[in-house]
Chain A
Amino acid sequence: MTTQGSPEKGKKTSSTLILAAAIVILALIVGAVFLLQRPAPTPSQTVVIRFAGWSAGETEMKSYQKMIDLFEKQNPNIIVKYEVITQMFSENILASYAAGAAPDVFYLDSAWAPTFISKGAVYPIGDKLPKDFVDQFYPFLLEPFKGSDGKLYGVPKDWSVLSLFYNKKLFAQAGVPEPTESWTWQDLFNAAKTIYQKTGKPGLVIHAEFNRWLPYLMSNGAPPPTFNSAADAAYFDNPAVKTALTNFITLFQQGRKEGWIVIPSDVNAGWSGEAFGKELAAMTIEGSWMIPYIADQFPNFKYGSDWDLSLIPQGSSGRATMAYTVALGVNSKTENIDAVIKFLMFIEGPDGQRELVVKMGHTLPSIKSLANDPNLWPSHAKELSNIGKYNIVKVFFYGPKTGDLEGQFNQVLQAAVRGEVSASEALSLLKTKVSQSFKG
């Protein structure tokens, strides 16, 4: 009986082993399923909310964590789980909806907002927010977050605006007077030409992007674009749009040939901010995000003494600029709406924005009263004081297909700038892009 080699014993041992292994595997699977389904043990009546955002760097993440800690201290029954998604943010959020694991509150870019709103993915938080809280914000920044039902689905956490940035040293070197509030587009182009002739550096570097060109189009009579259906392709048949776009393309092609207007890659730069920071061009039209970038990457190129910002020039129909904003959207299926609203009001309210927006200096505060905050960077304060001088401040969203259309438009405009297509071909291609994108 004690023989090791007994066949019966051998069979018994191995079947016991197999059984034991099967039990272990089963236990592991059951355990895993159990763990995945069971929420983390929390003290009674404590709710956990998940907050997802992207990050503009470690400092920003630390500041957010600091504010979350403060919020949790003030609200001991709410735990906020901060999840930073570094890449392809909106795509990730969409995928998490498919998996049924979307966060309770997340960044909602103006370009993506119509998609989330029209599909019922975000909560109409306007119904829950006190009126005096909503009234603190710049009204035009709320526009992209309003649904077709007129309800408010998001409140902007911060924003940026396009301005004209110019290199004071290059202007002085060329003997060209600095931009003034009465500058027209023609003044800008003339200055760009002169600077190029005198200094050898291009006067203007600008991306071949639809949203960067819109200030020119709108200030020359083009209506702010909205594309809700294939029929809206007719926007590019509007005489003002046609004329302004044709003029700009022709001017760009000519200017590029002569050297006074360039796209960033012409001067070996990845984007306008880099070209401007490296002083490879005298002017650019960029967003507020360029300001902290210059301060960080080019500390010797100083605001006030070396560079300044001004209003975007006026055209025949006034003056226009673009605004870019991100809201906090709330998952329509959240089970803790009251806690989420409390958190949202804390992060986006005056205290939250003072810490997360004003002090950080990455973007502009979306609350009007913070425009006079003593901690605001002087360059940001100047941008905010300029807002009232524009006839049109168009927020970056053209309807439900904004992201897709912007990408497609830019391809056409880049081809036009390179001279691969004429202005009229570009216009017809832009029309096709709109009608095609509403086909699916």
Chain B
Amino acid sequence: MSFFEESRRIEALVFILFTLYPLTLNFFFGYFSMMFAFTLSLFEWDILTPMRFVGLRNFYEMFLEIAKGFHELITSPTLVYLREPFFNGLKNILIYTAMVVPVQTLLALVLAVIGNQKIRGSHFFRVAYFLPATTCPVIVSLIFIWLFMKDGFINYFVSALTAGFKPDWLNDPNFLLPAIAIVAIWGTSAHFSVTFLAGLQALPREVYEAARIDGANAFNRFVHITMPLLKPLITYVVVLGTIGALQMFDLAWVMAGSGGGPGGAGYTIALDIYNTAFIQLRYGYAAAKAVLLFAIIFTLNYYVQKKLEFARVV
């Protein structure tokens, strides 16, 4: 009894030792910077001179910009990106999230189901499609810039399917954001499929066997058994995917440039926060924008989790 007590104490000690390090890091780089950003949003600061308290002025200015953006969207939609870049970034990132999250989740699920089959070479495919998740996004986007060229590899196939039509992916405002979305989907669905694969392998076989005996085919088994059982994981993937998509920076930075590329089509709110802080040297205003992004992410995820509440494992 006392031996176990002692070993439990050692266990507790080891627990403290192991968690102290990540907790310290998490506090300084997570919570502290978050609190600092919230505070900063009430100040005007350019790093080189002392901070100046401005109250809610940054937020007032931000909402004014959003209002102007809506007005611009109605009166002259083609000039929104030139007149109201912040609003354009906000609009783009919402469209981008709507494009990326459903597709990446579905694709991840399909990839996981394929990877879960007991067929020859499945192990090879699991490794092969997990590779993108291990590659640096900047390198991935550099390679895709080359693949997306007008006479590039992707258009070689696209033109065959569209009777010779070749979209100018990176220079046409209508195709730039979808191009970035394609790269993001390609890079992230592999990562999430591993999550699904782990979930699939933990599912009880008996349920499937019973369904098979009852005469359910593969599709029915997927829709009526796999999907409902995987719902907690689907929530997890949708939440993480949404956070990642709304904060997207690296792909846009490389594929569109800091200005968002042609027609500002690749401009995102994270790029705008970067430009406001580092180019315009308005750190307080950039922090206010970051707070808005936080609010959007928080609300959306709260909504997603609420919507999928029934899926929680009791």
- 8 A Cβ contacts from A95-139 to B: 95, 97-98, 115-116, 119-121
Tell me if B10 counts as interface (CB < 8 A to partner A). yes
Instruction: State A404–B280 Cα separation when bound (angstroms).
Output: 6
Q: Give the most central of B17, B82, B149, B260: most A CB within 10 Å.
A: B82
A415 and B82 in contact, given A14-B6, A440-B285 (Cβ under 8 angstroms)? yes
B26-51 contacts to A, CB under 8 A, are: 44, 46-49
B1 interfacial by beta-carbon distance below 8 Å: yes
Is B262 positioned at the interface, with any CB of A under 8 Å from its CB?
A: yes
Give B286-297 as 1s and 0s: 1 = Cβ < 8 Å from A's Cβ atoms: 000000000000
Contact in complex: B82, A429 (CB < 8 Å): yes
Residues of A contacting B6 with CB < 8 Å?
A: 10-11, 13-14
Q: How far is the CB of A94 from chain B (nearest CB, A)?
A: 5
- Contact between chains at A7 and B2 (CB < 8 Å): yes
Contact of B279 with A407 in the complex, beta carbons under 8 Å:
yes
Contact residues on B (Cβ < 8 Å of other chain), bracket: 35 or more
Residue contact B262 to A404, C-beta cutoff 8 Å? no
Tier of interface size on chain A: 35 or more
Q: Is residue B187 contacting chain A, with contact meaning CB distance below 8 A?
A: no
Given the interface pairs A5-B3, A7-B2, A415-B82, the reply to whether A94 lies near B47 with Cβ below 8 Å is yes
User: Which residue of A6, A119, A415, A420 contacts B46 across the interface (Cβ within 8 Å)?
Assistant: A119
- What distance in Å separates the Cβ of A3 from its nearest Cβ neighbour in chain B? 9
Contact pattern, A 65-101, Cβ under 8 Å of B = 1, otherwise 0: 0000000000000000000000010010011011000
Is A25 touching B20 in the complex (CB atoms < 8 A)? Answer: yes
Contact (A10, B46) CB under 8 Å given A268-B150, A429-B82: no
Residues of B within 8 A of A7 (CB): 2, 5
Number of A-B contacts (CB under 8 A): 89
User: Chain A residues near B82 (CB, 8 Å)?
Assistant: 411-412, 415, 421, 429
Known: A268-B151, A429-B83. A420 touches B263 (CB 8 A): yes
Asked if residues B279 and A94 are in contact (CB atoms below 8 Å), the reply is no
Beta-carbon contacts under 8 Å, A390-440 to B = 401, 403-404, 407, 410-412, 414-415, 418, 420-421, 425, 429, 432, 437, 440
Q: Chain A residues near B20: list those with CB within 8 A.
A: 25
Q: Within 8 Å of chain B (Cβ to Cβ): is A265?
A: yes
Q: Please, how many angstroms separate the alpha-carbon atoms of A18 and B250 in the complex?
A: 44
Q: Which of A1-27 contact B (CB under 8 A)?
A: 4-7, 10-11, 13-14, 17-18, 21, 25
Chain A nearest CB from B152 CB (Å) reads 9
CA distance A410 to B281 in the complex (A): 19
Determine if B285 and A432 form an interchain contact, defined as CB atoms under 8 angstroms apart. no
Q: Is B264 on the interface with A (CB-CB < 8 A)?
A: yes
**What are the interface flags for A14-49 relative to B under an 8 Å C-beta threshold, 1 for contact and 0 otherwise?**
100110010001000000000000000000000000
Report the Cα distance A412→B259, complex, angstroms.
11
Give CA–CA (A407, B280) in the complex, Å. Answer: 11
Closest to B276 in A: A440
Residues in A with CB closer than 8 Å to B5 are 7, 10
Contact A91 B278 (CB under 8 A): yes
For A18, what are the chain B residues with a Cβ–Cβ distance below 8 Å?
9, 13
B48–A403 CB distance below 8 A: no
B152-190: CB near A (< 8 Å → 1, else 0) gives 000000000000000000110000000000000000000
Interchain nearest-CB distance for A230 vs B (Å): 14
Contact residues of A between 268 and 310, Cβ < 8 Å to B: 268
Q: Give chain A nearest CB distance to B85 CB in angstroms.
A: 8
Inter-chain contact A440/B282, CB cutoff 8 Å: yes
The docked-state distance in angstroms from the alpha carbon of A398 to that of B16 is: 56
Interchain CA distance A5-B2 in the complex, whole Å: 5
B78 at the interface (CB under 8 A from A): yes
Considering the chains assembled together, what is the distance between the CA atoms of A79 and B19 in angstroms?
41
- Cα A79 to Cα B308 in complex, Å, equals 62
Nearest to A439 among chain B residues (CB) is: B61
Decide yes or no whether B258 CB sits under 8 A from chain A: yes
Q: Is B79 an interface residue (CB 8 A)?
A: yes
Known interface pairs A115-B48, A412-B82. Does A403 touch B279 (Cβ–Cβ under 8 Å)?
yes
Complex contacts, A404 vs chain B, CB 8 Å: 275, 279-280
Whether B48 pairs with A268 at a CB distance below 8 angstroms is no
Known: A91-B278, A412-B82. A98 touches B47 (CB 8 A): yes
A sample of 10 cross-chain residue pairs with beta-carbon separation below 8 angstroms, ordered by A number, consists of: A5-B2, A6-B2, A10-B9, A18-B9, A21-B16, A268-B150, A410-B259, A411-B264, A421-B79, A437-B280
Additional pairs, 8, CB under 8 Å, beyond known A18-B9, A21-B16, A420-B78 = A7-B5, A14-B13, A97-B48, A119-B46, A403-B279, A418-B262, A421-B79, A440-B280
Binding site for A on B (CB under 8 A): 1-3, 5-6, 9-10, 13, 16-17, 20, 44, 46-49, 78-79, 81-83, 149-151, 170-171, 258-260, 262-264, 275, 278-282, 285
* Residue ranges of A at the interface with B (Cβ–Cβ < 8 Å): 4-7, 10-11, 13-14, 17-18, 21, 25, 88, 91, 94-95, 97-98, 115-116, 119-121, 265, 268, 401, 403-404, 407, 410-412, 414-415, 418, 420-421, 425, 429, 432, 437, 440
